Amino acid sequence: MAAKKVLVTEKVADAGLEALRDRGLEVDVRLDMTPEELIATIPDYDALVIRSATKVSRDVIEAAEKLRVIGRAGVVVDSVDLDAATERGIIVCNAPTSNLVSAAEHTMALMLACARNIAQANASMHEGKWERNRFVGTELYEKTLAIFGLGRIGGLVAERAKAFGMKLIGYDPYCSPGRAEQLGVTLYDDVEAILPLADFVTVHLPKTKETIGMFGPDQFARMKDGVILINTARAGIYNVDSLADFLAAGKIGAVGLDVFQDEPCAESPLHEFENAILTPHLSASTVEAQRRAGVQTAEYVAAGLDGSIVPTALNMAPLPPEVMDAVGPYVPACQMMGSILAQMDGEIPQYLKLTAAGSLSTVDLSILVAGTLKGLLSYKRVAMVTPVNAESMAKRHGIKVETLSHADAEGYASAVSIVADGTEIACTLADEAHGARLVSLLGYKLDIAPAGQSLVFEYEDAPGRVGVIGTILGEQGINITTMQICTKPDEQRALVYVNVEGAVDDTVLAELREGVSGLANLWYIRL
């Protein structure tokens, strides 16, 4: 099977590229592509890795005949048409934790630069001047810092500011009192009440209708004289025109900005002020953050191509970490069972029931349904299924899906069973390292780990049948690696699951069908 191909259109850390290649993927790096070149090139690729400059429009997505995953080596994914990607079942993922530390540190850097006039003093020194009295600054120690947004980055800023001896107050309607207390932040539920208290303000908020323009003339007027404002999050949270007016009037002592409405930004109302410290979106621009972004994106892209869970997929419902830990290892197991069912039954099932038991009984099973459908439909080559489009693919092919949960896994810690139009299969997973083991097939109880190719026999139970199977396979040079024999005494039936090595062709199958008496069914399974 040919290696899956990944197109990388922007500079990504070498560690990320190597991580993709280590997964057996073919990686092509093509930088500075025009939109027309991308549309012409994308049909050959299974995955696309970008940063912020590449625009993945609907035209690009519609041209992408094989594309299954788009990975953004970074946080913000506003250059991808998410609706178009979702319609095509393409997973869009990012690396949201890659730059957390870098962004928090850049926030502190801007805060210190504004407080101690670092940029202005540096420029003066380069002009050959020595102006100590001109650049008298202020300490962070015992100053009050207002943090708007106490998510991951806001929390890291709180930890660092606390180490400087700052007094921390904050506003975040989604932050629990317990988390605020843990961070040492006094939480306020009113923006207007917090504004007059702060010596420094930093924002770590998403870009929404509520946050754009959140700070304008009314809010600036309520702040302390000489307040220092920082923004490394999203452009537009501060009204820049109004900010420039208050900066000129001296109400605002200094501002440190890393994000701008239109980037690259060569001019703005703030460019004329020396106490406006402006950086060109550098918060994620560290060696460490770039490396993490590349490696994390590589891991998620490879997972998406394997049909596994992509924890940062933006166009599917997010799964909490505890749910991912529980169901994640079962995704490839369900894909395997779906593939086995597809090979045992020549028709696409009209009814599919998935039952989770034991420790899986309380989690969302949609990702396991997606894995099963991927095994069923992808093997038959009628559709490429991803967690993004699994539900729509089931409806398109007329498959009614039902999920059930049971606390009792019949002696196992967890198990998943699938019934497709009456054909039943079940597996358990002791741990991820040992892989899935089939524990039931067609109602027969067994315990075997399927190999790359297997033969499954169902026949009328009688002495000597296994010997005949072994003889025929041996004469054909086919080695039996493991075997499981199961019976249904009440029906005088037996099932034999045989993992084999060697070429199993139509001649061998014909000889087995002729030589094994009482044979009801014989399936050749390839995984």
Answer yes or no: is 313 within a domain.
no
The verdict on 403 and 485 lying in the same domain is no
Answer yes or no: is 312 within a domain.
no
- Cα 103 from chain centroid? 20
Is the CB of residue 399 less than 8 Å from the CB of residue 373? yes
Q: Is the predicted pLDDT of residue 391 greater than 60, yes or no?
A: yes
Residues 6+ apart with CB under 8 A from 369: 334, 352, 354, 390, 394, 401, 403
Residues 6+ apart with CB under 8 A from 498: 454, 455, 456, 457, 469, 473, 480, 482, 483
* CA pair distance 358, 407, nearest whole angstrom: 5
The CATH number of the domain where 477 resides is what?
Answer: 3.30.70.260
Query: Residue length, the chain?
Result: 527
* CA pair distance 510, 499, nearest whole angstrom: 18
- Beta bridge partner(s), residue 490: none
Give pLDDT tens digits for 71-116: 999 888 889 998 899 888 899 999 988 999 999 999 999 999 999 9
Question: How many domains is the chain built from?
Answer: 4
Answer yes or no: is 338 within a domain.
yes
Q: Is 263 an active-site residue? A: yes
The verdict on 212 and 274 lying in the same domain is yes
Answer yes or no: is 488 within a domain.
yes
- Cα 460 from chain centroid? 49
Final residue before a domain boundary, out of 382, 416, 441: 441
Final residue before a domain boundary, out of 410, 441, 472: 441
The SS3 call for residue 128 is coil
The CATH number of the domain where 356 resides is what?
Answer: 3.30.1330.90
379 pLDDT band, cuts 50/70/90, is: low
523 pLDDT band, cuts 50/70/90, is: very high
Instruction: Output the average pLDDT for the chain.
Output: 92
The active-site residue out of 51, 68, 106, 234 is: 234
Q: What pLDDT, on the 0 to 100 scale, is given for residue 310?
A: 83
| Mean pLDDT on 250-270 | 95
The verdict on 472 and 512 lying in the same domain is yes
304 pLDDT band, cuts 50/70/90, is: confident
The active-site residue out of 37, 263, 432, 491 is: 263
The verdict on 187 and 145 lying in the same domain is yes
The verdict on 426 and 457 lying in the same domain is no
* CA pair distance 111, 162, nearest whole angstrom: 13
367 pLDDT band, cuts 50/70/90, is: confident
The verdict on 481 and 340 lying in the same domain is no
* CA pair distance 176, 190, nearest whole angstrom: 15
| Mean pLDDT on 39-45 | 97
Answer yes or no: is 283 within a domain.
no
Closest CA to 256 of 226, 223, 230: 230
What tokens were used for 291?
A: 């490396």
What tokens were used for 84?
A: 């178009």
The verdict on 12 and 136 lying in the same domain is no
By percentage, how much of the chain surpasses pLDDT 90? Answer: 75
Question: What is the separation, in whole angstroms, between the first and last Cα of the chain?
Answer: 12
| Mean pLDDT on 317-323 | 65
Q: Is the predicted pLDDT of residue 382 greater than 60, yes or no?
A: no
318 pLDDT band, cuts 50/70/90, is: low
Q: What pLDDT, on the 0 to 100 scale, is given for residue 431?
A: 65
Span of 190-194, 383-387, 419-423 with lowest mean pLDDT: 383-387
DSSP 224: P
Q: What pLDDT, on the 0 to 100 scale, is given for residue 322?
A: 66
Helices 118-126 and 100-116: angle between axes, nearest 10 degrees: 70
In sequence order, which ranges of 388-484 are alpha helices (DSSP H)? 390-396, 465-475
The verdict on 125 and 239 lying in the same domain is yes
Give the structural domain span for 480: 451-527
The verdict on 361 and 392 lying in the same domain is yes
The SS3 call for residue 10 is coil
The CATH number of the domain where 243 resides is what?
Answer: 3.40.50.720
pTM for this entry: 0.65
| Mean pLDDT on 146-154 | 95
The verdict on 70 and 198 lying in the same domain is no
Q: Is 234 an active-site residue? A: yes
Answer yes or no: is 486 within a domain.
yes
* CA pair distance 280, 273, nearest whole angstrom: 16
Q: What pLDDT, on the 0 to 100 scale, is given for residue 384?
A: 63
The verdict on 202 and 107 lying in the same domain is yes
Q: Is the predicted pLDDT of residue 1 greater than 80, yes or no?
A: no
